[in-house]
Structure 1
Amino acid sequence: MRRTAQFLTAVAAATALGAAPAHATPATATTSAADRPGPGRALGWEPAPSAPWDVTAGQRCDFAIHGEPVVDEVVQRVLDRHPDGSPKRVAYKGDLVVRVTNQETGAFHDADASGSAIVEYRTDGSQFWSVLGPVLVGVGEGNLDRGMYLVDGVWTLFISASGHRTVTMAHGTTTDICGLIA
């Protein structure tokens, strides 16, 4: 329970509108244009739009699926960078609803994937996600069966450099999207 409370505190602090990591410095006159607030945006938060995607039959579901955002207000904030300047830790938040469609039948489900996450991008190509709320997760290889899931709650996701996914739930649920649109 203590780790869950610490995680919730960290996610809330990092994703609160305009919150800064402990090592951040206040904005100054030399702040770059990319870091200046714009309409509807707090310091350091930038749009992070999701692109439509297609997955062939057998990769996630037994049928081909298409995903397309119908609501996409996700923003990101780089919290830490690798020595080469590439993002190391990035916070994501905002409303996201993805329409997942069975390409064979046209059946679809609008998945509310509006969770918040801090993602650590590792130099070996792996990723570690700390998540609060719902996020859409496709699994080919992992500790969940092959599929497309809406994972909701307090949880983590490790994606190995080879793409193997491991979801670890502190508390929450998984919804089988393939089953909803079969």
Structure 2
Amino acid sequence: MPAGARCEFAVRVEPIVDEVRKLTIETYPDGAPKRELFTGALINRVTNLETGATSTADASGTALVVYRTDGSMTWYVTGPVLLGFRENAGTLPKGLWIVGGRFRVEFSPTYDKTITMLHGTTHNVCTDVD
């Protein structure tokens, strides 16, 4: 991602462990997924492309994802998961956030995100590689 998109510097996020499994629970009549369950180990390497600093981010949560026909979706999560936020595009400031605990994420059709925490924590991974 270019500088300013999520962090103030250019950053790359790449999985170093990806054992995520997906189960489609329900589909729409056209076969598109309506509800899916995701779970499994997901560890990402986050790299500051300007300095070379790296950090790992554990995003090995479990989520039930409900897709709507308008392009919006809701995630019901037991975290942690890694979520990127653009400037003024959700309930957290711009950044790459590890969100842990139990929470719901509402995605608009343009991917603005609204997090409703039941309990948990947030941490901006940009600060780990700054």
TM-score of the superposed pair, with normalisation by structure 2: 0.96
Displacement of 1:163 after TM fit?
A: 1.6
Write the distance in 2 (CA, Å) between the matches of 1:56 and 1:79.
36
Write the distance in 2 (CA, Å) between the matches of 1:143 and 1:75.
28
Write the distance in 2 (CA, Å) between the matches of 1:151 and 1:66.
19
1:144 aligns with 2:92: yes
TM-score of the superposed pair, with normalisation by structure 1: 0.69
Q: Please tell me the root mean square deviation across aligned C-alpha atoms, in Å.
A: 0.7
Instruction: Write out aligned runs for 1:1-182 (5 A).
Output: 55-140=1-86, 141-182=89-130
Q: For 1:25-51, what per-residue CA distance to the aligned partner results, in whole angstroms no more than 9, with x for missing partners?
A: xxxxxxxxxxxxxxxxxxxxxxxxxxx
Q: For 1:59-90, what per-residue CA distance to the aligned partner results, in whole angstroms no more than 9, with x for missing partners?
A: 11111110111111000000010111100100
Q: Which is richer in strand?
A: 2
The code of the aligned residue for 2:67 comes to: Y
Displacement of 1:152 after TM fit?
A: 0.3
Which structure: larger Rg? 1
| Structure 2 residues without counterparts, runs of 5 or longer | none
Where in structure 1 do 4 or more consecutive aligned residues deviate above 3 Å? none
Write the distance in 1 (CA, Å) between the matches of 2:35 and 2:55.
31
The code of the aligned residue for 1:66 comes to: R
Higher relative contact order (CA 8 A, sep 6+): 2
Aligned residues: 128
